[in-house]
């Protein structure tokens, strides 16, 4: 696996791969890879000729009070994991390479970005959209693969691609979970053993919500209450949101249509660690 640190070099490699008729899948990550990331790399290997994993902890998607500084980083480990999983390239630019002095552009997606995560992390999705557009132009992929765990982010990226006409197919791969249901996340490393135990409540709440929908519950407030009530069985949990919404638009009708695909979204704090998770209940 080749490590690339410069945007120009990455573009040249990607451009020459494409000229040879090879397809490219990109897996954007902030590193500290876990099996969720590895499943995305493996998926990339299945559908494309070359896989580029990007590793960049993007400062512009963190607010000043958030965990940019302490976000876990381990380049050696990430290198080994990505290589062992079959990634062909690891694109690992420095912050100065991505945001040189006097950088002052921003890509803003309105609408879908404004609720849920957008409400609690106001500049987050602008930072995500901006860095993803840059990573797309650096790696020139045919496919970009994202994990469903960041559900609202996948909608924002689909909108970015659609509205700016990036010639890229976005693939959303299922959330990988620990045996007890906890969604894999680089941030799980922040959890103490006690908090780690408590954190399983997110998955339990989502399962309760899903079960209720499958049993015919379509009243949004009732569904939200089922999520919250389950979460609040854990002492000290702080809920940012626990909500049912339209899976495509994130609209929140009073009562869902029986033919509407619903996503259940949770963000909450356990101790100092903020966790998110989601579950879709698809209708055909």
Q: Which of 37, 43, 92, 124 is catalytic?
A: 37
199: left (phi over 0), alpha (psi -120 to 50) or beta: alpha
Q: Which two tokens stand for residue 229?
A: 């009530």
The window from 49-57, 106-114, 187-195, 271-279 that contacts a second copy (CB under 8 A) reads 106-114
Q: Is 57 near a second copy (CB under 8 A)? A: no
Q: How far is the CB of 181 from a second copy (least distance, A)?
A: 35
Run of H or E residues at 36: helix 35-47
Binding to a second copy by residue 18, rule CB under 8 A? Answer: yes
Active-site annotation holds for 34: no
By C-beta, is 100 or 258 nearer to a second copy?
100
Return the residues of window 126-145 that contact a second copy according to CB under 8 A: 129-130, 133-134, 137-138, 140
Residue whose CB is less far from a second copy, 104 or 215 = 104
**Residue 21 interacts with a second copy (CB under 8 A)?**
yes
Residue with tokens 């849920």: 116
**Shorter beta-carbon distance to a second copy: residue 32 or 166:** 166
> CA 164 to CA 68: how far, in whole Å?
28
Pattern 59-78, a second copy, x by CB under 8 A: --------------------
Nearer to a second copy, 136 or 190 (CB): 136
Cβ 32 to a second copy shortest distance, Å: 24
CA distance 282 to 284: 7
How many residues belong to the site for a second copy (CB under 8 A)?
30
Residues 6+ apart with CB under 8 A from 165: none
Q: Tell me the C-alpha to C-alpha distance, in Å, between residue 105 and each of 98, 133, 254.
A: 12, 11, 38
Q: How many CB atoms lie within 10 A of CB 213?
A: 19
Q: Is 19 in the site for a second copy (CB under 8 A)?
A: yes
**Strand-pair partners of 243:** 265
Q: How far apart are CA 160 and CA 103, in angstroms?
A: 20
Exposed / middle / buried, residue 83 (Cβ in 10 Å: 0-12, 13-18, 19+) = middle
Residues 155 to 184: which contact a second copy by CB under 8 A? 159-160, 163-167
Which residue's entry shows tokens 């607010």? 63
Q: Report the catalytic residues.
A: 37
Binding residues for a second copy (CB under 8 A): 7, 11, 15, 18-19, 21, 102-111, 129-130, 133-134, 137-138, 140, 159-160, 163-167
């Amino acid at each position: 696996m080749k490590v690339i640190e410069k945007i120009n070099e990455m573009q040249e490699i990607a451009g020459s791969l494409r000229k040879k008729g090879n397809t490219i899948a990109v897996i954007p990550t902030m590193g500290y890879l876990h099996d969720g990331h590895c499943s995305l790399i493996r998926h990339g290997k299945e559908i494309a000729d070359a896989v580029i994993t990007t590793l960049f902890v993007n400062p512009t998607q963190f607010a000043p009070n958030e965990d940019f500084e302490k976000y876990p980083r381990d380049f050696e480990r990430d290198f080994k994991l990505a290589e062992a999983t079959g990634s062909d390239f690891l694109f690992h630019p420095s912050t100065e390479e991505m945001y040189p002095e006097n950088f002052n552009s921003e890509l803003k997606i309105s609408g879908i970005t404004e609720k849920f995560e957008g409400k609690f992390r106001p500049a987050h999705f602008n930072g995500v959209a901006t860095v993803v557009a840059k990573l797309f132009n650096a790696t020139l992929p045919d496919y970009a693969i994202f994990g469903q765990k960041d559900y609202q982010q996948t909608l924002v990226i689909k909108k970015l691609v659609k509205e700016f006409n990036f010639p890229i197919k976005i693939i959303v791969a299922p959330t990988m979970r620990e045996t007890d249901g906890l969604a894999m996340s680089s941030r799980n490393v922040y959890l103490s053993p006690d908090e780690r135990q408590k954190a399983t409540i997110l998955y339990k709440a989502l399962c309760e919500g899903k079960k209720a929908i499958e049993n015919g519950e379509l009243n949004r407030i009732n569904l939200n209450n089922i999520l919250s009530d389950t979460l609040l069985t854990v002492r000290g949990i702080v809920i940012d949101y626990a909500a049912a919404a339209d899976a495509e638009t994130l609209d929140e009708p009073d009562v869902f249509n029986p033919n509407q695909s619903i996503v259940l979204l949770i963000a909450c704090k356990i101790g100092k660690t903020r966790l998110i998770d989601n579950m879709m209940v698809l209708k055909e």
